[in-house]
Amino acid sequence: MNSLELQSKGLYEQYEQSAIDALDVVDAEPLDEKAVQPDEVLYAASQWQLMWRKFRRNRVAFLGGVIILIYYVCALAPGFFAPYPADEYLLHGELINQAPQRIRLMDDGRFMPHIYKIAPEEKPEPEETETPQFTFTPGRVDLEEPEAFEPGLVVDETQPVPIKFFARGYDYNVLGLFETDIHLFQPADPEAPIYFMGTDDASRDMFSRIIHGAQISLSIGLIGVVFSLVFGTVLGIASGYYGGVVDDLIQRLIELVRSFPTIPLWMALFNALPPHMPMLRKYFLITLILSLIGWTWLARQLRGKVLSLRNEEFVTAAKLAGASDFRIIFRHLLPATFSHIVVVSTLALPAMILAETALSYLGLGLQPPTVSWGVLLNEAGINAVTIYPWQFAVPAISVAIAILAFNFLGDGLRDASDPYSL
């Protein structure tokens, strides 16, 4: 057998073996695809899901959102969280300018939040009655009386008063829907007042007034931002979409409003309100005044956003399909700018709250008996900073926490609005 035949025979044997191996593979059990393919997890998410995922990773912004949620829950039902009405005088007006009360958590080795009862010290009976002495001098009559004994306050530490949770107290209304008397906490003895944030110069609980004041201050900021969003969104999108004469007129109006100093303009508008106007009407006008001044910056930002979107392909396609301007604006442009509107409105809320607080503190906004954070700061006065610091610190710290929480939340939403950035 020559070399050519041997080579042909070798190739034939190799082909035969390959055919046998192929038949074995066909007859064998199918391989597990999971064992062959690498482990891959495909995740499909919408724009809002990506924003939420990125927002949750920002712990500071998430904490700010939780704080804001707690604030607004308290503002929705202040009667549930406040142990007393805003204008109730504790202990018949005896607890004037009292420092924050200490809450004890343990009693005889067991957990039992409690306070001690406080009562006015009984005035001792005088041993003998002194007759006022009259001194007659030319042109003047002097009346000398013995010094009156001023009763103090006595803390009875013999019997602790437990603090009960979800207890019954005064009746209050929840958003005008129903009435109830259930409160988050109440002292077991109604004659033992609780005031762990101190009292003011009229013997009223500071914590209760802060909670009731949050309803006014936070709602003014929220309603004012809603009005600003309506004005700013409509005018800003119209200015950017139509351009030309419409854009020029709206921009000149914005420049005119922004040319006035903010604080003097607020003062002039507030002084124009009648002094004896009902509080509900004055409350509404204050929110309207704040929103009429605060819409300009939103309109400017939305104008720039719409200018970059009006020449996009989806807008051109909508025009070629015969869509009206109204449909293009509200069906295509407004959703495209919605995330930006949410971020801007969140950052605008603290400015509205600070505006109401500052004006009420200066005596130009809401007035007593209406309770707001600015009214509480105004009532504290300058002497409270050094003599009774809790009367100024409690509302000031409440405002500061709310402003910081809004800023943290707004910064987090601004970062999350672009989920593709690092």
Summarised one tens digit per residue, pLDDT across range 334-368 is: 888 887 888 888 888 888 888 888 888 877 778 88
Terminal C-alpha separation, the chain: 74
Q: Is pLDDT of 94 > 60?
A: yes
Instruction: Give yes or no for residue 144 having a pLDDT over 60.
Output: no
Q: Is 96 helix (H, G, I), strand (E, B) or coil?
A: coil
Q: What is the pLDDT of residues 4-42, one digit of tens each?
A: 454 455 545 554 555 555 444 444 445 455 554 555 556
Model pLDDT for residues 373-404, shown as the tens digit of each residue: 988 998 887 667 778 899 999 999 999 999 99
Q: Which residue in this structure is represented by tokens 């997890």?
A: 41
**Of 134-138, 172-176, 194-198, 417-421, which has the strongest mean pLDDT?**
194-198
Between helices 296-309 and 244-259, what is the axis angle to 10°?
A: 150
- 118 has a pLDDT exceeding 90: no
Mean pLDDT within 49-57: 81
Q: What is the predicted pLDDT for the residue at 180?
A: 92
How confident is the model over 35-50, as a mean pLDDT?
62
Across 287-313, average pLDDT: 84
Residues 6+ apart with CB under 8 A from 135: 141, 142, 144
Give CA–CA dist 342/305, Å, rounded.
Answer: 14
More confident: 304 or 287: 304
With tokens 């033992």, the residue in question is 192
**Residue 251 — very low, low, confident or very high, per pLDDT cuts 50/70/90?**
very high
Q: In this structure, what DSSP letter does residue 333 have?
A: I
Contact 205, 90 (CB under 8 A): yes
Burial of 259 per CB tally in 10 Å (0-12, 13-18, 19+): exposed
- CA distances to 324, 343, 399 from 417, rounded to whole Å, are 28, 8, 27
State the DSSP string of 102-115: PPEEEETTEEEEEE
Average pLDDT of the chain to the nearest whole number: 79
Region 271-286: mean pLDDT is 75
Instruction: Determine the average pLDDT of the residues in 173-178.
Output: 86
Q: Dihedrals φ, ψ of 234, to 5°? A: -65, -50
pLDDT number for residue 139: 47
Helix (H) or strand (E) holding 280: helix 279-294
- The answer on pLDDT for 230 being more than 50 is yes
Q: State how far the Cα of 345 lies from the Cα of 241, in Å rounded to an integer.
A: 21
Q: Alpha helices, DSSP H only, in 362-388?
A: 373-380
- The vertex-389 CA angle with 150 and 222, nearest 5°, equals 125
> In the chain, how many H helices and how many E strands?
16, 6
* Cβ-based burial of 293 (10 A; exposed 0-12, middle 13-18, buried ≥19): middle
Helix H or strand E segment including 355: helix 338-361
Return the structure tokens found at 214.
């949050």
- By three-state DSSP, how is residue 149 classified? coil
The tokens for 126 are 């005088």
- Nearby residues of 110 by Cβ (< 8 Å), 6 or more positions away: none
CA distances from 304 to 124, 219, 226 (A): 77, 30, 21
pLDDT on residue 126: 56
CA nearest to 353, candidates 407, 389, 282: 407
In which band, very low, low, confident or very high, does the pLDDT at 277 lie, cut at 50, 70 and 90? confident
- Domain 65-74+211-416 sits in CATH at 1.10.3720.10
Is the predicted pLDDT of residue 129 greater than 70, yes or no?
no
- Select the more confidently predicted residue: 356 or 213: 213
The single residue listed with the structure tokens 């390959």 is: 18
Domain with CATH 1.10.3720.10 in the chain: 65-74+211-416
